[in-house]
Amino acid sequence: MEKSWHNDFNTDTTDESASVALATYGCESWTLRKNEETRLDAFEMKGLRKILQVSWTSKKTNDCVLNKAGLKMELLDTVNARKLAYYGHTMRKQRSCLAKQIMQGTMPGARRRGRPRTAWMDNINTWTGLRGRVNQNNRGQR
């Protein structure tokens, strides 16, 4: 990954697009918690600072660096869009599709003690606001 920032023969946009492709590989299956969202934002800003040659010791804010580049932070939005596209693709499949059944169904048995961990579907429900509608649809299918 470090070499992609320092290649002399690549242009700035090529460096950025290659690093985004590396960073988001397989992101459709990620469960994003707050920690992962913070790390994605930090990765994007670190790469942008390297491309613009702005040192972290120069005390420039992230907003200043984004204004200098003429960009906005979009890596997390890209991950969200790809996850939602995968969810939509899966929900359009036939009812007998295993992936669709896994997304809509629940695991039999009791859950573990303690606070429930954030699940993949929790991200989808938070971003779309479909929590009530999805649960109503599942009740009719069981």
Is 27 inside any structural domain?
Answer: yes
- Tell me, yes or no, whether 18 lies in a domain: yes
For residue 46, give its domain range: 2-78
Report how far residue 124's alpha carbon sits from residue 57's, in angstroms, rounded to the nearest whole number.
38
pTM: 0.70
| The total number of structural domains that make up the chain | 1
| Domain-embedded: residue 10 | yes
Is residue 34 in a domain? yes
pLDDT, tens digit only, all 142 positions of the chain: 455 555 454 455 566 677 778 888 888 889 889 999 999 999 989 888 888 898 888 888 889 999 988 888 889 999 999 999 999 998 898 878 888 877 777 666 677 789 888 888 888 888 888 764 544 454 444 4
Within-domain flag for 45? yes
- Domain-located, residue 121: no
